[in-house]
Structure 1
Amino acid sequence: MKMTLPLGVLLVCVSCNMHQPPPDKNAIPEALQPNNQSSGELIFSKRSDGNIINALYDEEVKKSASLSALEKQISDTRRIKRDTLALYTDFFAKNDDYYSTAKWMDSTITDSLLKQKIKLLLQKSKQAFEQHSNDLSVLMEDLDAKENTLTDLHTVLKLIVTLPLIEKYQQQNKPAQQPLVMLQHNYTNTIKAIDSITSK
């Protein structure tokens, strides 16, 4: 059964002791600073892979001991899962390989009676294996479901942490209209100048 953490509880957990007072409350996060004023390119951390939300979140992780500890817990959990499941994945892979190969070899038998006899023998063996290993399969499926839940909550966490940052940026860094208005006038005057020549 898939378990989810209520969004409100997650928000409270994140907000508690998350931020240390920054030196400059009005400082623009690095991920939102223009790299080139003319092109409007943005700076992203190497880890963020060009994803502005990941870049903003990574900055917050560096500032927050609780977020940093949580990220380590997430990373450790996934590493332990990967290392633990390697044994079970190999176990099932070898069994699947055996029965697949056996099915192919059975198809090469020319004697129809022998062919049918070994086919039934293999089917019985495979069914017994599936029943014998069903407990492991159920646990692995549950772990996959929990990984999906963890991934979903991790995404929600990033959005909850970074949404206030972009909203603050919107409020404090909205460009003035005047340069656009002046550029609009320049276009209008240039168009009129060309039109006055070409319309004669």
Structure 2
Amino acid sequence: MKKLNMKFIQIIVLISILLVGCSKQDKKQSTIDELNKTPEVLVGTESRVLSSYRYDGNIIDNLYKEALSKNQNLEELNDRIEEISSDSLSDKTKDYLKYRSVNKRYWTSAKSYANNLNDSLWKVEMLDIIEKLESSYEKRVTNHESRIDSIEALKSTLKDKLILLKLFITEPMIHNYQSNELPNVEQLESLIKDYKKAIEDSKEYIKINK
């Protein structure tokens, strides 16, 4: 009886191992199938596809949106990029940009006022004072201006990265479409035959009597 029980247990363990192996294989195959599928946005009736691209944005944006919906990590990265590029950029730079704008307006107005002085000596002296004050201000904000320059450079770089991201993400998707959805060439060949036959048949009626 013990031997029978041991054998039964061994069979159960073996079956369990096989089931786990099959499950992993099925999951792996499912992942492969998913990767090789035609993108959903490119599947459907002709009118749906045309309206999707004509009115809802370009094809790369549509493919990229589908990729986002299927990849949480990619979606989170995209959300971070959008947040940095919009709300965060505005929130974290608006105070200094306002500060800089106020000061620039002041220096412009101050020089204009000084230039309106009729006394040439006072005019020269005041313009010189304003120049020195402005130079002192510019030294004070050097660190801030350096950071603004860095932000502008990073902003440009991130914009490029997002474009590259969309291109790299969508290329395999359009490749799947190209591989899976190529129409049968026989339809085109059939149309060519129809054209040739119609052209040939028309010759009987296109004759010039001399």
Where on the TM-score scale, by shorter chain, does this alignment land: which range?
A: 0.7 to 0.9
**How far apart, in 2, do the equivalents of 1:164 and 1:27 lie?**
10
**In structure 1, the residue corresponding to 2:184 is in which secondary structure?**
coil
Residue 169 (structure 1) aligns with: 177
**In structure 1, the residue corresponding to 2:158 is in which secondary structure?**
helix
Residue 7 (structure 1) aligns with: none
Which structure has greater helix proportion? 2
Residue 41 (structure 1) aligns with: 50
On the 8 A contact 1:45/1:55 being kept in 2, the answer is no
Larger radius of gyration: 2
**In structure 1, the residue corresponding to 2:182 is in which secondary structure?**
coil
How much does 1:108 deviate? 2.4
1:32 and 2:22 are equivalent in the alignment: no
Question: Which residue, 55, 59, 62 being the options, matches 1:55?
Answer: 62
Which string of whole-angstrom CA distances, capped at 9 and with x for unpartnered residues, describes residues 105-142 of structure 1? 23322322222111111111111111110000001111
* Structure 1 residues 98 and 116, CA gap change in structure 2 (3 angstroms): same
On the 8 A contact 1:32/1:43 being kept in 2, the answer is no
Residue 128 (structure 2) aligns with: 120
Q: Give aligned-pair identity as a percent.
A: 25
* Structure 1 residues 194 and 115, CA gap change in structure 2 (3 angstroms): farther
Letter in 1 for 2:161: L
Which string of whole-angstrom CA distances, capped at 9 and with x for unpartnered residues, describes residues 12-44 of structure 1? xxxxxxxx949966653233235526x972624
**In structure 2, the residue corresponding to 1:43 is in which secondary structure?**
helix
Residue 80 (structure 1) aligns with: 88
**How far apart, in 1, do the equivalents of 2:172 and 2:106 lie?**
55
Q: 1 or 2 for the larger relative contact order (CA 8 Å, sep ≥6)?
A: 2
1:94 and 2:102 are equivalent in the alignment: yes
On the 8 A contact 1:32/1:42 being kept in 2, the answer is no
On the 8 A contact 1:28/1:169 being kept in 2, the answer is yes
Q: How does 1:134-173 map to 2 (within 5 A)?
A: 134-173=142-181
How many residues of Structure 1 are paired with residues of Structure 2 in the alignment? 178
Residue 75 (structure 2) aligns with: 68
Task: Give unmatched runs, 5+ long, in structure 1.
Answer: 1-19
Letter in 2 for 1:110: N
**How far apart, in 2, do the equivalents of 1:152 and 1:26 lie?**
28
* Structure 1 residues 35 and 117, CA gap change in structure 2 (3 angstroms): farther
Normalising by structure 1, we get a TM-score of 0.75
Question: Which residue, 133, 137, 144 being the options, matches 1:129?
Answer: 137
RMSD: 2.9
On the 8 A contact 1:106/1:118 being kept in 2, the answer is yes
* Structure 1 residues 113 and 23, CA gap change in structure 2 (3 angstroms): same
